[in-house]
Structure 1
């Protein structure tokens, strides 16, 4: 069974094989924005500050 792979995915796969040093840069960029440790206090504060979302946003009767 053949699975679809987009042209962009193929390009990125080939480009990363030709430029293995970019993997280090990719990890640095990810660490800059995403891979941050969070304390339990932060997680609890985020949970407590959540606002409930209506089931249907445009329904004005609720």
Structure 2
């Protein structure tokens, strides 16, 4: 059951803009993936080194500048 009339050939202005941008710069998607890899895709964490880091952490006093003397 359809509630509204659907227009199949319609493209929004933004969709047209993105299609034009990709035509002008065919390497755009490669550059986006490279940027994502640089900022977001990280190597898996080594669990042994993570555990060692957590165990070697020294607890800090609640108020750093207060001496225990």
Relative contact order higher in (CA < 8 Å, ≥ 6 apart): 1
Richer in helix (by share): 1
Larger Rg: 2
TM-score of the superposition, structure 2-length normalised?
0.44
TM-score of the superposition, structure 1-length normalised?
0.48
